[in-house]
Chains A and B, each alone.
Chain A
Amino acid sequence: SAVISQKPSRDICQRGTSLTIQCQVDSQVTMMFWYRQQPGQSLTLIATANQGSEATYESGFVIDKFPISRPNLTFSTLTVSNMSPEDSSIYLCSVVPGEAFFGQGTRLTVV
């Protein structure tokens, strides 16, 4: 199993600003995944972050809005840029060493 820590756990941000979310895993993993969960909705995959290469984004998500870093095999960051109230969601990182494990998520509110 993997233990995933996300920071911050929650934040309230002003529109137009950016927030960087950190995800730390207690073991080395090849792939890390970032999801968004809008209020009352399921999880939607934003992108896959591989160490040593650019992240791969799903349809509807772009690098300018959600830049991702993956500096090593245990850490990744997701930035939510130029935020608007529509970005208010829970953002979760995940790893798949067999089963998929999730962090507790970052609850973002944009005002």
Chain B
Amino acid sequence: GESVGLHLPTLSVQEGDNSIINCAYSNSASDYFIWYKQESGKGPQFIIDIRSNMDKRQGQRVTVLLNKTVKHLSLQIAATQPGDSAVYFCAEDRDDKIIFGKGTRLHILP
């Protein structure tokens, strides 16, 4: 099927290494941020979220860091696995609407 990541920046990571995907946002008033994973042929899947009163939140193998000073968000994936191969989008809540960033394709090297 058609890939949704053909024109998106790509991050290539060795299997077992940690991945760091970065995202910049524009609206300093945004107070809720979400990372999504989208596999080919599927809709976006929620990974982890963070509110603006936090600067770090951890999930299973994933960590989101929020730097409000420079309006920067990152997603860290520990011990990257082949199943992590997908397109990752950051998104922000603006007036109860989820607005997506550009996305990054994560490619896992064997």
Q: Which residues of A contact B (CB under 8 A)?
A: 4, 31, 33, 35, 37, 39-45, 48, 90, 92, 94, 96, 99-105, 107
CA gap between A105 and B89 in the complex, in Å:
16
Identify 12 new A-B residue pairs, CB closer than 8 A, beyond the known A33-B97, A40-B7, A100-B98.
Answer: A4-B43, A39-B4, A41-B103, A42-B89, A42-B101, A45-B97, A48-B97, A92-B43, A100-B91, A102-B43, A104-B43, A105-B43
Count residues on chain B whose CB falls below 8 Å from chain A CBs: 26
Whether B34 contacts A100 by the Cβ 8 Å rule is yes
Q: How far is the CB of A92 from chain B (nearest CB, A)?
A: 5
A32, chain B: closest CB distance, angstroms: 12
Q: Which residues of B contact A43 (CB under 8 A)?
A: 44, 89, 100
Find out whether the CB atom of B4 lies under 8 angstroms from the CB atom of A45.
no
A residues within 8 A CB of B102? 42
Complex interface: chain A residues within 8 A of B43 (CB): 4, 92, 102-105
Cα separation A105 to B44 with both chains bound (whole Å): 9
Asked if B4 contacts A90 (CB within 8 A), the reply is: yes
When chains A and B are docked, how far (Å) is the Cα of A29 from the Cα of B60?
A: 28
Instruction: Tell me the minimal C-beta distance from B75 to chain A in angstroms.
Output: 15
Q: Which residues of A contact B96 (CB under 8 A)?
A: 31, 96
